[in-house]
Amino acid sequence: MQTKALVLNAPRDLTIQEVALPPLTGKDVLIRVKACGVCGTDLHLFHGDQGAFESSYPLIMGHEMAGEIVEVGCEVHTLAPGDHVAVDPNIYCGTCAPCRRGDVHYCENMIGIGTTERGGFAEYCIVPERAAYLVPRDLPFEYAAMMEPISCCLHGLDRSAVRPGDTLVLVGFGAIGQIMFQLGELAGAARIIVVEPVAGKREKARALGAYLAVDPVGGDLAKTLHDHGVTHINSVIECVGRKDTMELAIRLATPRATVMLFGLTPPGTKLEVLAFEDIFKKELTITGSYINPLVAERVIALMASGRLDMSKIVTDRVPLERGVEVFTDPAYRTLGKVVIGDFP
């Protein structure tokens, strides 16, 4: 069958065109894509940057997708036409050594929908049954599409070990920081402090209920924290992916804190960590978070329960026909999460 899709033919060469989909095989499902989120990874792929995936052209990007099942292969038993699903784009083999250890996100044969395989910036997409997760019918598709990015954040939050009563600092308040904020609240953080240079994003943090939203540029950050009674920080989550903001996250951490370097950096980025001041004297745990292993069900439960305010996460919607704009117009970069699709 044919589908309309945004096709990346070469770096920065993105067009909308008709492409042929292969016939549906036994364990696959055909999805009518209703919504697909645009992620930093897609922008890296668009620009041809080196990244986490080995991609080849032409490529249909889009790995944050939700839609309705229209057809299932003869060996599919858990899903049926009409079901609403969200897709976990990372398909592990289950057979290699990391998979057998349970470290499925380190699968040696990982397939990535929308990064190595045809993705969701299209009207239709074929995915394996096990990549498609049933979601409630009353969950809007544009929200269901957020399963993947929220899963990445939840894995990071799990690894930052936030407990009830903790003080959590978020460095950066873009789409990721805003998701982390809600997850941090759900994990029980009593005070969430947002460090963000853009005034509009600080306003957003205050509106969400941040204990403090401070500008890291100019002013004395340490004094501001002190004046607001913040003498100890349990976790710092860096949500930007730059050397300077990562080093800031490490400097801000107080003794025994966990520093989660969540933002995606270009390969080869070096950080200055002080062996005496940061590691020895502060006993910091500095860690990272890679993809989103086995957390999709929890994210669906959070979305279905209404405990995540999804209206604060999805900020802009663009039909597939105008999808190219999202990549070429820098105005989209200042927003939160842009979703491409023709939802409900």
Please check whether residue 332 is in contact with residue 316, taking contact to mean a CB–CB distance below 8 angstroms.
yes
52 is a contact residue toward Zn ion (CB under 5 A): no
96 is a contact residue toward Zn ion (CB under 5 A): yes
339 is a contact residue toward Zn ion (CB under 5 A): no
99 is a contact residue toward Zn ion (CB under 5 A): yes
Smaller CB distance to Zn ion: residue 3 or 90? 90
Segment contacting Zn ion (CB under 5 A): 94-102, 126-134, 198-206, 213-221?
Answer: 94-102
264 is a contact residue toward Zn ion (CB under 5 A): no
Smaller CB distance to Zn ion: residue 9 or 109? 109
- Torsions phi, psi for 241 (to 5 deg): 100, 25
Segment contacting Zn ion (CB under 5 A): 21-29, 92-100, 226-234, 292-300?
Answer: 92-100
Closest approach of Zn ion to the CB of residue 337, in Å? 10
How far lies 64's CA from each of 33, 103, 147, in Å? Answer: 10, 22, 7
Query: What percent of the residues of the chain are helix, what percent strand, and what percent coil, each to the nearest 5?
Result: 30, 25, 40
Smaller CB distance to Zn ion: residue 39 or 213? 39
Segment contacting Zn ion (CB under 5 A): 48-56, 75-83, 88-96, 155-163?
Answer: 88-96
Task: Output the six-digit token pair for 161.
Answer: 């070990």
Residues 105-124 that bind Zn ion (CB under 5 A): 107
19 forms beta bridges with: 3
How far lies 330's CA from each of 1, 110, 279, 324, 326, in Å? Answer: 34, 31, 39, 12, 8
How far lies 217's CA from each of 107, 128, 199, 209, 278, in Å? Answer: 41, 47, 11, 22, 22
What does the alpha-carbon distance between residue 185 and residue 82 come to, in Å, rounded to a whole number?
Answer: 34
Closest approach of Zn ion to the CB of residue 92, in Å? 5
CA angle at residue 288 from 205 to 265, to 5 degrees?
Answer: 75
Smaller CB distance to Zn ion: residue 41 or 234? 41
What does the alpha-carbon distance between residue 190 and residue 167 come to, in Å, rounded to a whole number?
Answer: 6
Closest approach of Zn ion to the CB of residue 221, in Å? 30
Closest approach of Zn ion to the CB of residue 192, in Å? 23
CB half-sphere exposure, 236, CA atoms < 13 A: 25
Residues 32-51 that bind Zn ion (CB under 5 A): 39
Segment contacting Zn ion (CB under 5 A): 103-111, 182-190, 195-203, 284-292?
Answer: 103-111
279 is a contact residue toward Zn ion (CB under 5 A): no
User: Which residue from 93, 161, 304, 324 is in contact with Zn ion, where contact means CB under 5 A?
Assistant: 93
Closest approach of Zn ion to the CB of residue 70, in Å? 24
What does the alpha-carbon distance between residue 175 and residue 338 come to, in Å, rounded to a whole number?
Answer: 9
Smaller CB distance to Zn ion: residue 92 or 181? 92
Strand (E) positions, 196-308?
A: 212-214, 235-238, 258-261, 285-288
Contact residues: Zn ion, CB under 5 A: 39, 92-93, 96, 99, 107
